[in-house]
Amino acid sequence: MARRQPEGPPPAPIVQRLRIQYAKRGRLRFTSHRDFARAFERSLRRAEIPMAYSAGFHPHPKISYVGAAPTGVGSEAEYLEIALAERRDPEQVRAAIDAVLPPGLDMVAAVDVEDCPPGSFPEQMQASHWQLDMAAPASQVQAAFDQLLACESFMVERLTKDGRRSLDARAPIVSVSVRTDGVDPERATIGMVVRQVTPTVRPDDILTALKSVAGFAPSEPIRATRRAQGPLDDDGAVVDPLNTTLKVM
């Protein structure tokens, strides 16, 4: 039996790839990755971006997502890559997409892949720099982290769709800094660099570990924001994957 072939011409070839940094801010941090992907594809059509498409009976725009943050977590450093069938100025593409997305899903930067550091983009996502804002005095938070960091490893359980899964919430932590909130002395701001491992260790996993090892729990839900993700330098800082001369301390 002859193999069926899609009708019409083959898809246009890829002539350019762009890497885009975007942010999830405010209430839009509750947008799931699937919701964002649908909104982003609609924005590409509305902005008339000349996307390259996959072959077959159900063509899809060529989009690759890298290291999406959990639902409910804010982020200034989400990344994706798109393939274009026509060359475009990266900044014009960024601005066109940003103009048709709702405020809070914001396109931060766009760079031609040819101008990015070499190597696999997913493999460059070695760590995340998290900011945690919580209702607890800085001294109490620091004492709890001191107990956790004194451990070589600390296993916690996470409930997943496939059941409970154990993971080490201590080993991926590279560094932690704790300071008093600039307005309220009873609130603390934590800067935390965490390696990207499998399974991914999330801020709530580390809170679970703090409660188990030190009996610590903030008096209200924390606000977690990913400030950066990318390669780790020799000082343990996360480097901007689109521009390796920039890093978040």
* pLDDT (0 to 100) of residue 210: 97
Q: For residues 156 and 8, which has the higher predicted lDDT (pLDDT)?
A: 156
* pLDDT (0 to 100) of residue 91: 97
Average the pLDDT over 120-140 and give the result: 95
Average the pLDDT over 103-110 and give the result: 97
81 exposure class (CB count in 10 Å sphere: 0-12, 13-18, 19+): middle
* pLDDT (0 to 100) of residue 1: 45
Q: What length does the chain have? A: 249
Inter-residue contact 111 to 16 (CB < 8 Å):
no
Nearest CA-CA partner of 136 in 182, 189, 175: 189
* Cα(187)–Cα(20) distance, integer angstroms: 34
* Cα(179)–Cα(15) distance, integer angstroms: 48
Inter-residue contact 134 to 188 (CB < 8 Å):
yes
**If pLDDT is split at 50, 70 and 90, which confidence band does 159 have?**
confident
Average the pLDDT over 167-189 and give the result: 93
Average the pLDDT over 179-202 and give the result: 92
* pLDDT (0 to 100) of residue 62: 96
Q: What whole-number percentage of the chain has pLDDT above 70? A: 94
CATH of 16-116, one of 3.30.70.580, 3.40.50.300, 3.10.20.30, 3.50.50.60: 3.30.70.580
**If pLDDT is split at 50, 70 and 90, which confidence band does 188 have?**
very high
Tell me the CATH number for domain 124-248: 3.30.70
Do 16-116 and 124-248 show the same overall fold?
A: yes
**Reported pTM:** 0.90
Indicate whether 58 pLDDT > 90: no
* Cα(18)–Cα(22) distance, integer angstroms: 13
Indicate whether 202 pLDDT > 60: yes
For the chain, the domains span: 16-116, 124-248
Q: For residues 247 and 128, which has the higher predicted lDDT (pLDDT)?
A: 128
Please compute Rg for the chain using Cα positions.
21
Indicate whether 38 pLDDT > 50: yes
2-6, 43-47, 53-57, 58-62 — most confident range: 43-47
**If pLDDT is split at 50, 70 and 90, which confidence band does 245 have?**
low
Q: How far is CA 32 from CA 20, 28, 43, 69, in A?
A: 18, 9, 16, 9
Residue carrying the six token digits 């804002």:
133
* pLDDT (0 to 100) of residue 246: 58
**If pLDDT is split at 50, 70 and 90, which confidence band does 165 have?**
confident
